[in-house]
Structures are given as C-alpha cells and as structure tokens.
Amino acid sequence: MDAALFGASEFTIGKLNYVTKGALYRHPALPMMATGGVFGLGSGASEELFRQRRDGEDFDMSKIMYRASMAASVNALAAGVGGLDRVARMRIDPEAQANALKIGAEKPSGPVPGRVARFNELDARQLELKNSPLTIKEPLNEVAYRAEIVSNGQVKPVLFRLAETPEMKARLNNELFDYQLHRSLAPGTESRAVAPVEVVINGQKRQGYLQELSGRSFEEGLRAEANIAFGLSSDRAAARVLRNDPFLRSQYEKVWIERMLMAEWDNHSHNLLLGRGNRMSNIDFADALPSARYTSDYTPYWGKTASRVSLLNDRLISQFSGKPISAESHDMVKSFVRDFDTPAGRLALTGAGHSGSQIDGLLGRARWFSEKGAMPERDMPNVFVQASLRALYLLRKGQSLRFESGVNEKPAH
C-alpha cells in the first residue's frame, strides 16, 4: 500500500509541477504540502474503505471522499507548518526590487555602456521587418500565419503571430526581450529578429509581431547528422554527434544559458533551431521570465526537457548538468552582470514591458552563472511522469508533423 501511495504521490506531484510550469518545485513549501496532501488523500480513502468492510457497512463513496479530503487537508497543513520558516527566509523583499528601479530612473552617476543605452532600440533587422511590404500567405493555426516580406528585391519568409490577448502580448514581450537580450549577450549563436506590427487580415486590422524564419528544428538537424555519421538517427547516436563536435557543444551550451536566463519552462529540442554552419538559436518563449518571489527563482533550471513531441534534450543535458561552462560563456555572463546589474541596466531591461521582479529574477540567474561558472544540476527526473511522456511520445509518433519517417525533416516554424 505504501509503495502504491508513493507512486501515486510522485506521479501527481510531477504532473502538478508540469501544470504550474515548474513553479511548484521552486516554491519553498508547496512541494511538501502537495506531497502531504496526496499521501493524506490516499491513506484517508483506504482507511475509510477498510473500515466500511470491517464493520460490514455498505460501500459509501461520500464517506470515503470526506475522510480522504479531511486527511489530505490535515496532512497538507501539517507539512506546510514545517515550510513556513523556509518561506520566510527565502522570500524576496518586493520593496527592495521596486527601489532598485526607482534608483535607475534617476540620472546615471557615470557613463552608461553602449549596449545598455541601445537595449530597447530597433536595429536594422527589426526595421526591415516593420517597413518592408508584407503579404500574409496562409494561417498556420488560430494565432500564427505564414507570411512574406519583400526587402531589396528579395522575398523573405516570416512568421506573423497575433498579440491581442494578455497572454499573446506577454509572449510578444518575451520574444522581443529575448532578441534584445541575445543582441546584448553577443554569444555567437543565431537569433530571429522580432518586431511589433499592425497588419490587415480579411479587411481587419490585427495587432501582432513579425519574426524571421530560418533554420530547422535542432532535433531534426542533429538526427540527420547522426544518420550521416553513424547510419543511425537514435537518441544515442545524436548524443554522440553533440559530444564529438566542440563547436556544436559550445553553441548548445550558449543557447541553454540564454534560455535559462529567460527561465523558459518548455525546453524540448524542437524549441531550439539549427541553422547554417551549425549555429543554433532559440524559439518559443511563451512561459519565460516569471516574477522572482523567492531566492530559489535566482537559480537557473533546465525546465521541461521531455515532452510528448520530443525526448532528446532529456538525454543530451546529462552531458552538461553540473559541469563548468566554457571560459567564453563565463566571460559573457560576467560582463552582462557588470553592465546590467546596475540602476541604469535594470531600467533598460524593463523597456520591453516586464516588471521589476521579472528583471530581478533574470539578473539573479545571471549572477548565479557569474559566481558559479557552471551549469545547474538537473532535477532528479520524475520516473512516473517520464514514463507517461515516453508512452505519449511513442503513441504520437507518426501522427504528428513533429515526426517524420526519415531524417530529412521539414524546416521548423
């Protein structure tokens, strides 16, 4: 019975962490409360069921549910009491975050670094997106469209995504911020320019943003290289390609550092792109930059590296978990902290529409990399959740555009 409760608890807590996009595990007390609640739910239900059988009563689901809910509440509260002190110790003072921005609004005491002063300026690639003639070609889903711009006589494919709801606007802010962050980090990887625009679709003005299209899914590209090198496109063969290619390893490390600074949760390998010359880039920052409420939000994390559409990153990150980052990457982060963990830097970072607590979290993670000089340790995989994702992956294989029978994959969107 205890083993069954443990398995049910692990699976439930793991799924709750996925639903909350990692917020559950990062909270100082909620994991203990959730575990206590799940154990209480199971033990309370089983105890009531055994009591009914022992006393010869008819099966009564309402009594079972009542006993289970009471036990879950008591256990969760008991576990929560133990976490209150930890919550108090790890909570970040929001007043200090606000004061940091107020100081930034004052006149700088010294010269502001150029990349700080230019952080929110549109560059040539963004102006090209905004000012070039645009043609909407076809919808990809309810919020995204394949489109083309004409620049200097050349037709270039682009993606137009709507930004009309709070969630869509938050994604626009995140995508725009990441492009500006990448430009400031100058990591030697690729990026896709983003520019807010207004377009006319079916006679209606729609607000959204354009994003460059280039490269293909990192997973698809890596499997293709594995097939060329070893005649195999398995996870193991793909991992060998990455392990044996110093340039690609450097690219992989840097896109992950950028992704961890953004604190994006959805990190399967189709959200990384592989371009010309094996230069990598990031896409999809729908869930990035959560507000920093606890000191645990200053620690970078790997997020969800396995999903029902990809399991590859979950294998690849074992090569980097807890390992020192390259001197080049370390210098990149240290110089970013030097220039941006300042009043003027913080003020510039809020220019894309993010709050002081969101920027505080990003800078906290940058300081972590600067001080540790290493990648974070990966969380212990939840075997029950991993097993369910693997089952979904295998069931979906061959039924989704993410999967191809061969390794000549379609370009990523």
pLDDT digits (tens, 9 = 90+) for 144-181: 999 999 999 999 999 999 999 999 999 999 999 999 99
3-state secondary structure (DSSP) of residue 184: helix
Q: How confident is the model at residue 58 (pLDDT cuts 50, 70, 90)?
A: confident
Mean residue pLDDT across the chain:
84
Q: How confident is the model at residue 384 (pLDDT cuts 50, 70, 90)?
A: low
Select from 177, 212, 247 the last residue of a domain: 212
Residue 232 and residue 190 in one domain: no
Residue 35 and residue 174 in one domain: no
Structure confidence by residue, pLDDT tens digits, 316-365: 999 999 999 999 999 999 999 999 999 899 999 998 889 999 999 999 99
Residue 274 has pLDDT above 80, yes or no: yes
- In this predicted structure, what is the pLDDT of residue 269? 92
- In this predicted structure, what is the pLDDT of residue 255? 97
Report yes or no on 242 lying in a domain. yes
Residue 409 has pLDDT above 80, yes or no: no
Look at strands 134-139 and 154-162 and give their pairing.
Answer: unpaired
Mean pLDDT is lowest, of 89-103, 135-149, 214-228, for 89-103
Structural domain count of the chain: 3
Residue 180 and residue 271 in one domain: no
Report yes or no on 101 lying in a domain. no
In this prediction, what percent of the chain has a pLDDT beyond 70? 82
- When pLDDT is averaged across residues 10-18 and rounded to a whole number, the result is 63
- In this predicted structure, what is the pLDDT of residue 405? 34
Q: How confident is the model at residue 14 (pLDDT cuts 50, 70, 90)?
A: low
Residue 231 and residue 197 in one domain: no
The secondary structure of residue 197, as a DSSP letter, is E
| Amino acid residing at 143 | V
Residue 413 has pLDDT above 50, yes or no: no
Angle at the Cα of 178 (from 176 to 183), degrees rounded to 5?
A: 100
10 Å CB burial of residue 322 (0-12, 13-18, 19+) is exposed
Residue 266 and residue 342 in one domain: yes
Residue 279 and residue 385 in one domain: yes
DSSP string, 226-263: HHHHHS--SHHHHHHHHHH-HHHHHHHHHHHHHHHHHT
Report yes or no on 136 lying in a domain. yes
pTM given for the model? 0.81
Q: How confident is the model at residue 407 (pLDDT cuts 50, 70, 90)?
A: very low
Residue 249 and residue 199 in one domain: no
Report yes or no on 27 lying in a domain. yes
Residue 284 has pLDDT above 70, yes or no: yes
Please name which of 66, 67, 49 lies closest in space to residue 58, comparing C-alpha atoms. Answer: 49
Q: Output the domain CATH number for residue 132.
A: 3.30.200
- In this predicted structure, what is the pLDDT of residue 91? 84
Residue 11 and residue 47 in one domain: yes
Report yes or no on 177 lying in a domain. yes
Q: Please say whether the beta carbons of 51 and 102 come within 8 A.
A: no
Report yes or no on 165 lying in a domain. yes
Mean pLDDT is lowest, of 6-10, 227-231, 269-273, for 6-10
Select from 196, 212, 228 the last residue of a domain: 212
Residue 201 and residue 315 in one domain: no
- In this predicted structure, what is the pLDDT of residue 64? 83
- Lookup: tokens for 334: 């240290």
Report yes or no on 95 lying in a domain. no
Residue 232 and residue 322 in one domain: yes
10 Å CB burial of residue 271 (0-12, 13-18, 19+) is buried
Select from 212, 238, 272 the last residue of a domain: 212
- When pLDDT is averaged across residues 222-240 and rounded to a whole number, the result is 93
Q: Please say whether the beta carbons of 120 and 352 come within 8 A.
A: yes
- In this predicted structure, what is the pLDDT of residue 401? 37
Angle at the Cα of 367 (from 362 to 370), degrees rounded to 5?
A: 130
Residue 119 or 315, more confident? 119
Residue 192 and residue 224 in one domain: no
Q: Which domain holds residue 248?
A: 216-396
- In this predicted structure, what is the pLDDT of residue 126? 97
Structure confidence by residue, pLDDT tens digits, 179-208: 999 999 999 999 999 999 999 998 899 999
| Amino acid residing at 243 | R
Residue 196 and residue 225 in one domain: no
Report yes or no on 57 lying in a domain. yes
